[in-house]
Amino acid sequence: MMKRTPLSLAITAIAFGGLFAAIAATGPDKPKEPKGAPAQQTQPANHSPSQPSQGESATSPLTTVRVQTISPASHQPQIVSHGEVTARYELDLSAEVSGQILALAESFRTGAVLPAGTELIQINDLKYQQALASAQSTEANAYVSLLQARQDVVQAKQEWSLAGIEGEPDPLLLRQPQLAAAEATYREAQASVEQAAYELAQTRISVPFDALVVSRYVSPGAQLQSGSAVASLMSMDQLEVSLPLSEAQWQWLAQDPAEIAVVLEDTETGQRWHTQADRFEWHRDGQSRQRNLVVALSPEPNNPLLPGTFVQASLTGEAQSALLAVPASSLAVDNYGQQVIWSVDGEQRLQKAEATVQFFNDDLAYIASDEPVDLVIAPGSRLREAQRVNRQSVQGGE
């Protein structure tokens, strides 16, 4: 029999202690469930089968919505269109007679604004002076012939009376056809003088109206032909803007153009001009396929509006009654793609209604309605009809 030392006894005790600790930690095995038995599901301790789903719980907080009370009223639509400023008249000035250019006016430069009647070009007029002198000579001779023909008629009538011949004399004997020919020749000579004088005057080419010189096509010494273009001009006394409008926009406007106020704004500088409509065009534009409203205005010395400027126009339409002015942010789109608004009824429940927008002014949409509405401002995407909400009343503009 082996003798046990204290060290061997300590090691044996430690080994048995570790074995018992392992058995205690493992614990007894769980009994196996028979095949086919339903698995047990673990549920939270606070779960109740009869509890409402999230969002409908009587104990969960209500959704807070901002509500503004809006009443129907009369409003004037502001119609927006765009257009380019053009001159009332645009002209390619041309020569009516041929000849060599003797001189150009010093002011005849591109960009110059010239008053009506300013002389631009002087054409050599020698042959036109000669033509006028010849026409005047022909006219004088024709006048002498006319006087002689008249005297011949008087003398022929006297001779017929002295002859005592009964019956009506032949007109030729009374020299009446000769008088008619002389009168026609004299009228022709007068017309020739007028034509020659007109052509002589056209050797001096002038500005027909207050104009801006856009382009100059000639130089001193150039040989002009009748019909040759010499300059491109724009009138500066009145400017126009053609504004295309849809048929829906036309229905908001007054029938009299003078009653339509218009504000033009330069899209680059922000400068503004206040005016009114000038006339309606009763045909569709070939490019926009819309009818144009034409605005006319005179340039302002301290706030010039130049041809070629692109402007935005705001037109004030006739007042329309029974409209709700709602913030555009309150419009929503339902699952069918229709624009709708949300409101809160007396029971603090949400109601949805289709919104037919008549027009927009700035950040407001105008909807036809005869009744006031408690409108939900900026509705979220998770609202539901008949949902109870917490109402937070706001004032307009908040």
What pLDDT is recorded for position 361?
Answer: 82
Q: Please give the Cα distance from 71 to 86 (Å, whole number).
A: 43
pLDDT tens by residue, the chain, 398 residues: 444 444 444 444 444 454 444 444 444 444 444 444 444 444 443 443 334 444 445 556 888 888 999 999 999 888 999 999 999 999 999 999 999 999 999 999 999 999 999 999 999 999 999 999 999 999 999 999 999 999 999 998 888 888 877 778 888 888 899 999 999 999 999 999 999 999 999 999 999 999 999 999 999 999 999 999 999 999 988 899 999 999 989 988 999 999 999 999 998 999 999 999 999 999 988 888 899 999 999 887 777 888 899 999 999 989 889 999 999 888 988 888 888 999 999 899 999 998 888 888 878 999 988 889 999 988 877 888 899 988 888 886 55
Residue 246 exposure: Cα atoms within 13 Å on the Cβ side: 5
What pLDDT is recorded for position 294?
Answer: 96
User: How far from the centroid of its chain's Cα atoms is residue 321's Cα?
Assistant: 26
What pLDDT is recorded for position 397?
Answer: 56
Show the tokens assigned to 311: 């402007």
Show the tokens assigned to 217: 């096509």
What pLDDT is recorded for position 191?
Answer: 98
Show the tokens assigned to 347: 């029971």
Domain 126-163+170-201: assigned CATH number: 1.10.287
Show the tokens assigned to 394: 């706001």
Q: Please give the Cα distance from 337 to 312 (Å, whole number).
A: 31
Q: Is the dihedral of CA 142, 146, 151, 153 positive or negative?
A: positive
What pLDDT is recorded for position 144?
Answer: 97
What pLDDT is recorded for position 58?
Answer: 54
What pLDDT is recorded for position 228?
Answer: 94
What pLDDT is recorded for position 1?
Answer: 40
What pLDDT is recorded for position 378?
Answer: 83
What pLDDT is recorded for position 60?
Answer: 67
Domain locations in the chain?
63-74+321-393, 81-85+238-318, 98-123+204-235, 126-163+170-201
Asked whether 49 and 377 are in contact (CB, 8 A), the reply is no
Q: Please give the Cα distance from 116 to 121 (Å, whole number).
A: 14
Q: SS3 of 11, please?
A: helix
With vertex at residue 315, the alpha carbon angle to CA 314 and CA 318, rounded to the nearest 5 degrees, is 145
Check whether domain 81-85+238-318 has CATH 2.40.30.170, yes or no: yes
Of the candidates 316, 313, 317, the one whose C-alpha atom is nearest the C-alpha of residue 85 is: 313
What fold is seen in the domain 98-123+204-235? OB fold (Dihydrolipoamide Acetyltransferase, E2P) (2.40.50)
Of the candidates 56, 113, 139, the one whose C-alpha atom is nearest the C-alpha of residue 304 is: 113
What pLDDT is recorded for position 337?
Answer: 83
What pLDDT is recorded for position 193?
Answer: 98
What pLDDT is recorded for position 338?
Answer: 87
Q: Please give the Cα distance from 278 to 44 (Å, whole number).
A: 78
Domain 63-74+321-393: assigned CATH number: 2.40.420.20
